[in-house]
Structure 1
C-alpha cells in the first residue's frame, strides 16, 4: 500500500471508528445493552452499505479483540455454576443436538431456491462458528460466497434483535452485570498483566492443540484455569479494553455487509429471511425446553440457545446480569458440535442430494 493509499485508509478507518464511538455514546445514554458492540456494528454497517470500496478490520485487531473477550469470560468461571452445568449435561446435550437438527432442516428448506445445493443450504444455516464454517465451506463442496453472506446475514439479524428480546421479553436489566473492573479486584495494572499472560499463553496453545476459534477459546481456558486455581487473585480485563474489544467485533460484523455482498443473495433473500427468523424462533423454543429441564432462567436459556452471534450473546449476558458462564458453556459446546459435525454433514448431504445448479 503506497503512502497516499495508506493515508486514505487511515482517514477512512478513523471516520468509521469515530462513528462507532459516537454511536456507542448514544446507545450508552439510552441504557442499551452492549453499547460498544452495537455502536461498532451500526458504524460498520453504514460504511459497508454506502461506500463501494471494501474496508476490513485488520486481523491483529480482530484476534486481539477475540482474545480479550475470551479472557473476560474465562475470568467469570465459577465452581458452583460449572457444577450445575455438569448436573444438567443431558438436557444441554439434547438441546445442542436439537439445534443441529434444526440447522439441517433449515438448510434443506433453502433448496426451495433454485441453484442452492443441500450442502450450501446447510452450511449457510449452521448456527455457530460463522467464520470457521465459511472458511471450510469451499473445500467441503459448498458455495462459499453464498455461505458467507447468509451466515453474516443471520448474525446481523440476531445481534439486532437479541438485545430487544433480552430486555423486553426476558427481562434483562442493562448495566446490572457491572463492568469488569468492578468487584474489588486488584486493579487495572494487575488486570492488564493477567490479560497479557492469558493471551500470550492461551493463543499459541490453542493453535497447537487445533482448538476451534483459538483466539477466543485459548485465552478463555487459561483465564478460567488461573481463576479456578486462585492464581489470578481476582484480576479481570480492564473495562476500557473490554469495551474496545466488543467495538472491534461489532465493526468486523458490520463491515462484512456491502451492497455487492447483498446482491449475491438476490432472489434468495426473501426465503433466507423467513428461514432465518424461523430458526431463531425455533431455537428460542429450545431455550424454553432448557428452562423447564434445568435451573436456568428464561434469559439464560434464551441467550444460551441463540443460533449465532456468540460475541453479542456474551456482551448481552455480561451486561444484562445473565449467568454468562452457563450461557458460554452451552454456546461453546454447540460450537464444537457444529464445527466437528460439518465434514460428516457435508459428506452425507452430497450423497443425499444433487450438486449446485449451473
Structure 2
C-alpha cells in the first residue's frame, strides 16, 4: 500500500516537473499562456505513454481555480470603469454581440460529429480563454476540446494581430514589448490579498451556490476589493498565477486519450474556418464601434479582438493606441463571458446534439 502511494507521488512529481520544463520552453518561444500549455503537453504525454488513470487532486485544483479567479477579478478597477462609462452603451452592445457571435460559432461547430452543444459553445466563447478552460469540465463540456480550440484562436490572434494592426491600421511599434509594470504593495501583500480573496470567495461562492464557486467566488471578491480600494493595488503574484495555470493544464492533459485526440483532429479543419470567421466578425464589430464612438479604428480593432489580452495590450502600448480604453472593453467582455458561461451551459445542456 505504501509502495503504491510513493509510486503515485513519484508519477505526479515527474509529470509536474515535465509541465514546468515545457512551460519554460514555451515561454522562451513566446507562446501565450505557457504555463497552461506546458501542463497540457506534460499531461498529454503522460496520458498517452502510460494510459493509467491519473487525476490532479482536488486540494490542488481548488486553490488553482481560486488563484485564476483572483487574477481575473483584479483586472477590474475604477479607471477601467471610467473608460467604459462615457461609451457604455456601444461597448455593451459590442460585448453582447460578441457573445451572440460566439454562440453561433459554437452552434456551427456542432456540425462536427461528437461535439456536444456545451462543448461547442465553450470552445468558441471569445475571450477569457483561461477562465473558460478552467471551468469547462465542471460545467459539462469536454475540457480537452475546449482547451485546444480556445488556444487555437488565441494563437491565430497573436500571430496575425500585429500584422493586421500595422498593415490595416497603420500601427507602428516601439519594440518595448508591452506595458510597463505598475508599482504595487509588494509580493507579501499580493500573496495575502490572493489568499484572503480565495478563502472568502470560496466560502461565499458555496454559500451563494455559485456554479464553479472556487473560480467565480474569488473573482467577484477580488473585483469588489479592487473597486472599493481595499486591495491597494495588490494582485495575484505572477508565480502563483503560473502555477495555477500549470495545474489546470495538467488536469486537461491527463484526461486525453487516443480517441479524444482523433475526435479533436477530425474537428480541426471545420474549427479553423469557424475561428477565422469569428475573428473577422469581431473585427467588423470594431468598425461599427468607430462609427458610434470617438474611438480610432486601431483602438476599436484592438478592443474587439477576441482574445489574447496580453498581446493586445502589448500592441496597444507600443503603437500609441488608447490602452486604457482597449483594456476596459477587453475586461468588460471577459467578465461577461466568464459570468455568463454557467448560464449558457445550463441552457445548452437541455438541447440535443446533432445525430
- 1:167-316 residue pairs with structure 2 within 5 A? 169-170=164-165, 176-177=178-179, 183=183, 185-264=184-263, 270-287=269-286, 289-290=288-289, 293=292, 295=295, 296=299, 298-302=301-305, 305-306=306-307, 313=308
Classify 1:130/1:71 alpha carbon distance in 2 versus 1 (closer, same or farther; 3 Å): closer
Q: How far did residue 204 of structure 1 move?
A: 1.6
Q: How far did residue 287 of structure 1 move?
A: 4.9
Aligned partners of 1:23, 1:79: CA distance in 2, in Å? 37
Classify 1:230/1:265 alpha carbon distance in 2 versus 1 (closer, same or farther; 3 Å): closer
Q: How far did residue 20 of structure 1 move?
A: 2.4
Aligned partners of 2:239, 2:249: CA distance in 1, in Å? 15
Does the aligned pair in 2 maintain the 1:31–1:174 contact within 8 Å? no
Does the aligned pair in 2 maintain the 1:67–1:199 contact within 8 Å? yes
Q: How far did residue 261 of structure 1 move?
A: 1.4
Q: How far did residue 340 of structure 1 move?
A: 2.2
Q: Which moved more, 1:147-156 or 1:77-86?
A: 147-156
The TM-score normalised by the length of structure 2 is: 0.73
Aligned partners of 1:6, 1:299: CA distance in 2, in Å? 50
Does the aligned pair in 2 maintain the 1:102–1:279 contact within 8 Å? yes
Q: How far did residue 159 of structure 1 move?
A: 4.3
Aligned partner of 2:125 in structure 1 is 127
Aligned partner of 1:157 in structure 2 is 152
Across the two proteins, how many residue pairs are aligned to each other?
331
Does the aligned pair in 1 maintain the 2:91–2:329 contact within 8 Å? no
Aligned partner of 2:58 in structure 1 is 59
Does the aligned pair in 1 maintain the 2:110–2:120 contact within 8 Å? no
Aligned partner of 1:101 in structure 2 is 100
* Structure 2 gaps, min length 5: 127-131, 167-172, 318-322
Summarize deviations over 1:39-81 as a string: whole Å, max 9, x none: 3343334444444234433333232222223323433432121
The TM-score normalised by the length of structure 1 is: 0.73
Q: How far did residue 24 of structure 1 move?
A: 3.0
Classify 1:268/1:247 alpha carbon distance in 2 versus 1 (closer, same or farther; 3 Å): closer
Aligned partners of 1:288, 1:47: CA distance in 2, in Å? 45
Classify 1:253/1:78 alpha carbon distance in 2 versus 1 (closer, same or farther; 3 Å): same
Summarize deviations over 1:229-267 as a string: whole Å, max 9, x none: 333333333332223223323333444433231234575
Q: Which moved more, 1:105-114 or 1:15-24?
A: 105-114
Aligned partners of 2:134, 2:71: CA distance in 1, in Å? 21
Classify 1:203/1:86 alpha carbon distance in 2 versus 1 (closer, same or farther; 3 Å): farther
Aligned partners of 1:289, 1:55: CA distance in 2, in Å? 48
Three-state SS of the structure 1 residue aligned to 2:52 is coil
Classify 1:315/1:219 alpha carbon distance in 2 versus 1 (closer, same or farther; 3 Å): farther
CA-based RMSD of the aligned residues comes to 3.8
Q: Which moved more, 1:52-61 or 1:321-330?
A: 321-330
* Structure 1 gaps, min length 5: 138-143, 307-312
Does the aligned pair in 2 maintain the 1:207–1:214 contact within 8 Å? yes
Classify 1:276/1:334 alpha carbon distance in 2 versus 1 (closer, same or farther; 3 Å): same
Aligned partner of 2:338 in structure 1 is 335
Q: How far did residue 330 of structure 1 move?
A: 0.8
Does the aligned pair in 2 maintain the 1:291–1:301 contact within 8 Å? no
